[in-house]
C-alpha cells in the first residue's frame, strides 16, 4: 500500500465490511460537509473533497473494491498520470454519482427531485358521535364534509383549454436542467416548471390553475356492529383530491359513542344493574330485564344477595372482527326501603326479633366471628 495515500475505508469513516447503503450515507455526509461551495477558498477542504470522491468511486464499484481489498492502492498505480477528471488520474468522477449528487445539490439549493409532480391528496378526519345501540348493532350515517375535489371545469388539467398547456421553454419539456456546481455538472429539477416539463399559460378560471376546488359533499358511511369510542373507520379515496393527477387521500371516521342511561359496556359484555326489593331478594322472583334485543325474563333465586351477577349468554355486543358476541351481566342491587309505614315497621321489628342470626344471616355472623378472632375476644 502506498504510504502517501490514506486507506479508502478510513477516508470515508466506514468499516471494511460496510454495505452499499452505508458507503453512500457516509460519502453523502462528507460531500455535503466538504463541498467547495460551502468552503470557498479552503484548500484543505478541497483536497479532502477530492479524496472522498476518489475513495467512493473505488469502494462503490464492486470490481474496483475487490481489486483494492486485494492489492490496496497498488491496484490503480498504472492508471495514474493518464489524465482524467480533476487531476485524479484514471478515475472518472462524473460516472455513477448523479443520484448521490442530485440529492446533495437538492440540499444546497432546495431543488428536490420531482417535488411538483403528481402527488397524493391529504387524508381527512371526521369525528362522528353515535348512540350506544347504533354502535352495538351497526348503522349507516350520512355525513357532510368540506374537501378538495377534482375541478369539474378542467377535469384536473388546470388549464382553461387543451392549448393552454405547453412544454416548458426552460427545460424544453424534460423537467430537468443541467447545473454546473464546482467540479460537477449534474441534472436538477427545472425551477420554472418545477420538474413537470409543462407550464400552464392559460389557467382554469374555476380552480385558478390548481386542478381542484373545495366542495361540501354528503357521504354515506357504514358503521359495522361492535364499534366503540376511538374506533377508526377508513373510507378509501374519500379524502382530499390529489395534485396534478395524483390519487385522492382517505377519510378516517373516528367514532364517539354516547353514554347509555342503563347499559355500560365492558369489552364486548354489557352490564346492567337491576334493583330488587328486599322481599324479592329474600323470597325469590322473576324479573323483566332489558337487553339490546328487547326484554327477557330472569329468575332471581330466594336469598340472592346484593351484588350477585347473573350472566345472559350471547346478549352482549357483537365482536367488531366477527368473533361471536359478548354476554350481558345482570347485577342484582337489593334496594332498602327508605320510608316505612307504621305497619311495615312493626312487621320488620317482629321479623328482627324472631330471626336467628346463624340461620338467617350467616354472612353477618361469619363477619362478627372474624372480628372476635382478630381482637382475641372469646
The per-residue pLDDT for range 193-234, each reduced to its tens digit, is: 877 888 888 889 999 888 899 999 999 999 999 999 999 999
Average pLDDT over residues 287-302: 94
Segment of 99-103, 133-137, 156-160, 358-362 carrying the highest mean pLDDT: 133-137
Report CA-CA distances (Å) from 185 to 7, 132, 273, 347, 350: 28, 66, 79, 107, 108
Cβ atoms within 10 Å of 169's Cβ, excluding its own: 10
Q: Right CATH number for 8-96 from 1.10.260.40, 3.30.365.10, 1.10.1520.10, 1.10.287.110? A: 1.10.287.110
Alpha-carbon gap, residue 186 to 113, rounded angstroms: 12
Every domain range in the chain assigned CATH 1.10.287.110: 8-96
Contact 170, 193 (CB under 8 A): yes
**Does 86 score more than 50 pLDDT?**
no
**pLDDT recorded at residue 313:** 96
Average pLDDT over residues 159-183: 79
Contact 276, 284 (CB under 8 A): no
CA angle 298/300/306 to nearest 5° reads 120
Alpha-carbon gap, residue 11 to 35, rounded angstroms: 15
Every domain range in the chain assigned CATH 2.10.230.10: 124-257
**pLDDT recorded at residue 40:** 77
Query: Closest Cα partner for 307 from 330, 284, 286?
Result: 330
Helix (H, G, I), strand (E, B) or coil at 161: coil
The set of residues, in sequence order, having a beta carbon less than 8 Å from that of 332 and lying 6+ positions away, is: 274, 276, 281, 300, 304, 305, 306, 307, 308, 309, 310
Helices (H), 60-88: 62-71
Percent of the chain with pLDDT over 90: 45
Alpha-carbon gap, residue 70 to 376, rounded angstroms: 90
Cell of 61: 464499484
Q: How many CA atoms lie within 13 A of 116 on its CB side?
A: 16
Site of grid cell 326484554: 295
Q: Is domain 264-336 annotated with CATH 3.20.20.70?
A: no
Indicate the fold that domain 124-257 takes in CATH.
Chaperone, DNAj Protein; Chain A (2.10.230)
**pLDDT recorded at residue 109:** 44
Cell of 215: 366542495
**Does 310 score more than 90 pLDDT?**
yes
CA angle 131/132/137 to nearest 5° reads 100
Torsion sign, CA atoms 48, 50, 54, 56: positive
Distance between alpha carbon 234 and the CA centroid of its chain, in Å?
Answer: 12
Q: Which residues on adjacent β-strands are paired with residue 296?
A: 289
Alpha-carbon gap, residue 102 to 376, rounded angstroms: 88
**pLDDT recorded at residue 91:** 47
Helix (H, G, I), strand (E, B) or coil at 108: helix
Torsion sign, CA atoms 174, 176, 180, 182: negative
Contact 53, 93 (CB under 8 A): yes
* Strand duo 212-223 + 124-130: pairing: unpaired
Q: Is 256 left (phi over 0), alpha (psi -120 to 50) or beta?
A: beta
Rounded (to 5) percent helix, strand, coil in the chain: 30, 30, 40
Confidence band for 101, pLDDT divided at 50, 70 and 90: low
Amino acid at each position: 500500500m502506498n504510504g502517501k495515500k490514506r486507506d479508502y475505508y478510513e477516508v470515508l469513516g466506514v468499516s471494511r465490511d460496510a454495505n452499499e447503503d452505508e458507503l453512500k450515507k457516509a460519502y453523502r455526509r462528507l460531500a455535503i460537509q466538504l463541498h467547495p461551495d460551502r468552503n470557498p477558498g479552503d484548500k484543505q477542504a478541497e483536497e479532502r473533497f477530492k479524496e472522498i470522491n476518489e475513495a467512493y468511486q473505488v469502494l462503490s464499484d464492486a470490481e474496483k473494491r475487490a481489486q483494492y481489498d486485494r492489492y490496496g492502492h497498488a491496484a490503480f498505480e498504472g492508471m495514474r498520470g493518464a489524465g482524467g477528471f480533476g487531476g485524479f488520474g484514471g478515475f472518472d468522477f462524473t460516472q455513477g454519482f448523479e443520484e448521490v449528487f442530485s440529492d446533495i445539490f437538492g440540499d444546497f439549493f432546495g431543488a428536490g427531485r420531482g417535488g411538483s409532480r403528481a402527488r397524493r391528496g391529504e387524508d381527512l378526519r371526521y369525528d362522528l358521535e353515535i348512540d350506544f345501540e347504533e354502535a352495538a348493532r351497526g348503522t349507516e350515517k350520512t355525513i357532510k364534509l368540506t374537501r378538495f375535489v377534482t375541478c369539474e371545469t378542467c377535469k384536473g388539467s388546470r388549464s382553461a383549454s387543451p392549448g393552454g398547456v405547453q412544454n416548458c421553454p426552460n427545460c424544453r419539456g424534460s423537467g430537468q436542467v443541467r447545473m454546473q456546481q464546482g467540479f460537477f455538472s449534474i441534472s436538477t429539477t427545472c425551477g420554472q416548471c418545477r420538474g413537470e416539463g409543462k407550464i400552464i399559460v392559460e389557467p382554469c378560471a374555476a380552480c385558478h390553475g390548481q386542478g381542484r376546488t373545495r366542495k361540501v359533499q354528503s357521504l354515506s358511511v357504514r358503521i359495522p356492529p361492535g364499534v366503540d369510542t376511538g374506533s377508526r373507520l377508513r373510507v378509501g379515496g374519500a379524502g382530499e383530491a390529489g395534485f396534478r393527477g395524483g390519487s385522492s387521500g382517505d377519510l378516517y371516521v373516528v367514532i364517539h359513542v354516547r353514554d347509555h342511561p342503563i347499559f355500560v359496556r365492558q369489552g364486548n359484555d354489557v352490564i346492567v344493574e337491576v334493583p330488587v326489593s328486599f322481599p324479592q331478594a329474600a323470597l325469590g322472583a322473576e324479573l323483566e330485564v332489558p337487553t339490546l334485543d328487547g326484554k327477557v325474563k330472569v329468575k332471581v333465586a330466594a336469598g340472592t344477595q346484593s351484588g350477585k351477577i347473573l350472566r345472559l349468554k350471547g346478549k352482549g355486543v357483537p365482536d367488531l372482527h366477527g368473533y361471536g358476541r359478548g354476554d350481558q351481566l345482570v347485577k342484582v342491587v337489593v334496594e332498602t326501603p327508605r320510608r316505612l309505614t307504621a305497619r311495615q315497621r312493626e312487621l320488620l321489628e317482629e321479623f328482627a326479633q324472631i330471626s336467628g342470626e346463624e340461620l338467617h344471616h350467616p354472612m353477618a355472623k361469619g363477619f362478627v366471628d372474624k372480628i372476635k378472632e382478630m381482637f382475641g375476644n372469646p
